[in-house]
Amino acid sequence: MGADAAVRPGVLALLAAVWLSLSGPYTVHEWLILVFGLVSVGFVWRLYLALDRAAGGDSEFFRASSWLRLPRFLVAFALKVAAANLHTTKLILTPRIDLHPRLRRVPASQKTSFGQVLYANFITLTPGTITLDLRDDELLVYALDAESEADVVDGSMDRDVLRLEGGSD
C-alpha cells in the first residue's frame, strides 16, 4: 500500500457524501435508488483501485494531490470547450463556409499512458478537433481550420493535463 492508502477511504466517503447530498429526501422508491447509487459508487471505487494497481500502485493520478488539482483542470477544460464551441458555431453559421481541415502531429509530454489518453480525450472533446492516433508520445490530430489547430499546437491543453498529472505549473 502506498502512502495515500489512508486517503482512499476518505475519497470514497467524499464521493458517497456528494452523491447522497445531491439525491434529496428519501421515500421507499428513493431508497432503492440509494441502494443502486451505493452499488455504483462501490463499482467506481473498485475501478479506481484496479486502475491504481494497473499503474503500479504509485501513480500520480491516484494521489490526493491530483484530486486537489482536478477543479483547476475542469475549469480550464470547460473554458476551452466553451471557446471551441463558440468558434465552431461561428464556422457553421457563416454564410460562406471556408474550412481548411488539416492533420497535425502534436507531442504528448505526459509521463504516463493514462495522462496521454486523457490529453487525447481532452482534444477530442473540444469541438473542431479530433485525436485520430496516439503513438510514440505523439498524437495525430484532425482540426477543422487553422484556429482549431492553433488551440492544440499552442500547448495549453498539454500543459493542463501535465499539471493535473503532477508536472510543473
Listed by start position, the domains of the chain span 3-58, 63-165
The answer, yes or no, to whether residue 7 has pLDDT greater than 80, is: no
Q: Would you place residue 168 in the very low, low, confident or very high pLDDT band (cuts 50, 70, 90)?
A: low
End-to-end CA separation in angstroms for the chain: 28
Residue from 79, 85, 14, 82 nearest 48 by CA: 14
What does the pLDDT read at residue 26? 67
Q: Would you place residue 76 in the very low, low, confident or very high pLDDT band (cuts 50, 70, 90)?
A: very high
Give the mean pLDDT of 146-162: 91
Quickly tell me which residue has 500520480 as its cell. 60
For the stretch 29-73, pLDDT in tens is 877 887 898 899 888 888 877 877 776 665 556 566 677 788 889
What does the pLDDT read at residue 169? 54
Q: Would you place residue 81 in the very low, low, confident or very high pLDDT band (cuts 50, 70, 90)?
A: very high
| Contact by Cβ (8 Å): 151, 104 | no
Q: Rounded distance, CA 1 to CA 4, Å?
A: 8
- Highest averaged pLDDT of the listed ranges 8-17, 91-100, 128-137, 159-168: 128-137
The answer, yes or no, to whether residue 149 has pLDDT greater than 80, is: yes
Q: Would you place residue 88 in the very low, low, confident or very high pLDDT band (cuts 50, 70, 90)?
A: very high
Q: Whats the size of the chain, residue-wise?
A: 169
The answer, yes or no, to whether residue 83 has pLDDT greater than 90, is: yes
pTM above 0.85, yes or no: no
Give the mean pLDDT of 72-95: 92
Backbone angles phi, psi at 131, to 5 degrees: -85, 120
| Contact by Cβ (8 Å): 53, 5 | no
